Amino acid sequence: MTTSNGIGSAESTPQLRKAAFSDYQQIAALGAHYGLGKETYDEWAHLWANNPVLRRVPDCPMGWVFEREDHQIVGHLANVPLAYQLGKQKLIACASRSVMVDPRYRSYSFQLLSQFFRQKQVDLFLATTVNAQATKLYEVFRALRVPAGTWNNSAYWITNYPGFSASVLKMKAFPGAKALSFPTGAGLWARDVAQGRFFKTRGKSVEPDFCTGFDDRFQFFWQELCERYPKRLLADRSREALEWHFKPALAKNWTWILTLSQGSQLTAYAIFLRQDNPEHGLTRMRIVDFQTLQGQNELLRPLLASALERCRQERIHMLEASGFSAEKQSVIDSLSPCGRNLDAWRYFYKAAQPALAEQLKDPAAWDPSCLDGDASL
């Protein structure tokens, strides 16, 4: 929820209505005003025009807008339908995305979220990019913090010390940031060497492969994953769902898919996504998902090592990980990452029915990652 300076005056009561594809230009302009990443029309429309879940819920709205009498959009909340599975239950989830309201109309923010949580065809409501300004508003609607993972901090490794230092100094508005980036980077490098942040985690027998897309192996893996974890809430990781989720990023070469296999079968994979901060000149890869069969979480080590090596080769400033379950986080922590605190708990959820709500109270029912909700859309 943004709190930037207003873009107009509250001269009249804005009207709430469903969003439409024709609203793209105004929604994009509103987002640009608040420093949100710019999406092309095709990238933005893809979330609904090609969304496989809409075959099951064709009337699901793409979101809502507040519009003034002069047809100026002053508020927006996107609504992205997603498929989840818990045992044999096939669930419809909706993720809130791009919640933004002109501060002059902030009193209407409640109505936007009210529309979101009022949807009847939805089993599970998700919000995975909540900031400090929006936290209390989600809590008003009795949305809960996901009971697994740590969603108010992240782990990271620096993979380009001068570039990372320059972006941090720029962020802090430090005079002479460019000139100081190399000595500052050298200091950070020396610190990381002393703290053991350079490591070897894979031998010749464990060599991950980089894939350029999702093939039939991912479909077989998804089917087996569901069978092995019938009491775990799982975002749809079928081949179709993964192709839809990452299509825009794959087209830009912003997604890395790393796999480990035995013969022709996948045993584990990790998905990394480019999520830069252009305002501060920071380039960043994030691991947004890791899955393995038979609980072999140690396979995350060689996958991370390969990604870190590629980040260094491509001069990307950092690699980041956040939100994973305790079992996966312990593997991440074993590689001695740096850490940073976030401004809020990012991941909230609300189950529509009491029976599902009771199931989801158990941390063991969760395997959260940034594949959930809108965190990697």
Domains and CATH numbers, the chain: 15-145 (3.40.630.30), 153-341 (3.40.630.30)
What b/e string do you get for 147-168 counting C-beta neighbours within 10 Å, with b at 16 or more?
A: ebbbbbebbbbbbbbbbbbbbb
* Distance in angstroms (rounded) separating the CA atoms of residues 91 and 96: 16
SS3 content of the chain, % helix, strand, coil (to 5): 35, 25, 40
Neighbours of 277 (CB within 10 A): 14
237 phi and psi, to 5 degrees?
Answer: -115, 30
pLDDT band at 252 (very low <50, low <70, confident <90, very high): very high
Q: What is the per-residue pLDDT across 206-237, written as a single tens digit (0 to 9) for each?
A: 789 999 999 999 999 999 999 999 999 999 99
256 phi and psi, to 5 degrees?
Answer: -110, 130
In the chain, the percentage of residues whose pLDDT exceeds 90 is 79
What b/e string do you get for 322-353 counting C-beta neighbours within 10 Å, with b at 16 or more?
A: bbbbeebbebbeebebbeeeeebbbbbbbbbe
The pLDDT of residue 277: 93
The pLDDT of residue 332: 96
The pLDDT of residue 11: 59
CA 188 to chain centroid: 27
Helices (H), 17-160: 24-33, 41-49, 109-117, 135-140
Inform me whether the pLDDT recorded for 338 exceeds 90.
yes
Taking residues 155-183, report their average pLDDT. Answer: 85
Sign (positive or negative) of CA dihedral 360, 366, 369, 372: negative
Kindly list the distances between the CA atom of residue 116 and the CA atoms of 80, 82, 93, 103, 374, in Å, as whole numbers in the listed order. Answer: 10, 14, 11, 20, 14
pLDDT band at 2 (very low <50, low <70, confident <90, very high): very low
Inform me whether the pLDDT recorded for 9 exceeds 50.
no
Sign (positive or negative) of CA dihedral 270, 37, 276, 185: negative
Inform me whether the pLDDT recorded for 59 exceeds 90.
yes
Q: What is the per-residue pLDDT across 18-44, written as a single tens digit (0 to 9) for each?
A: 999 999 999 999 988 877 778 999 999
Inform me whether the pLDDT recorded for 98 exceeds 80.
yes
* Distance in angstroms (rounded) separating the CA atoms of residues 235 and 339: 27
The two tokens of residue 136 are 């209390």
The pLDDT of residue 199: 56
| Of the candidate ranges 28-42, 174-188, 295-309, 357-371, the one whose mean pLDDT is the lowest | 174-188
268 vs 13: which has the higher pLDDT: 268
Mean pLDDT score across all residues of the chain: 92
Inform me whether the pLDDT recorded for 203 exceeds 80.
no
Inform me whether the pLDDT recorded for 4 exceeds 80.
no
Q: What is the per-residue pLDDT across 294-331, written as a single tens digit (0 to 9) for each?
A: 889 999 999 999 999 999 999 999 999 999 999 999 99
The two tokens of residue 220 are 């077989």
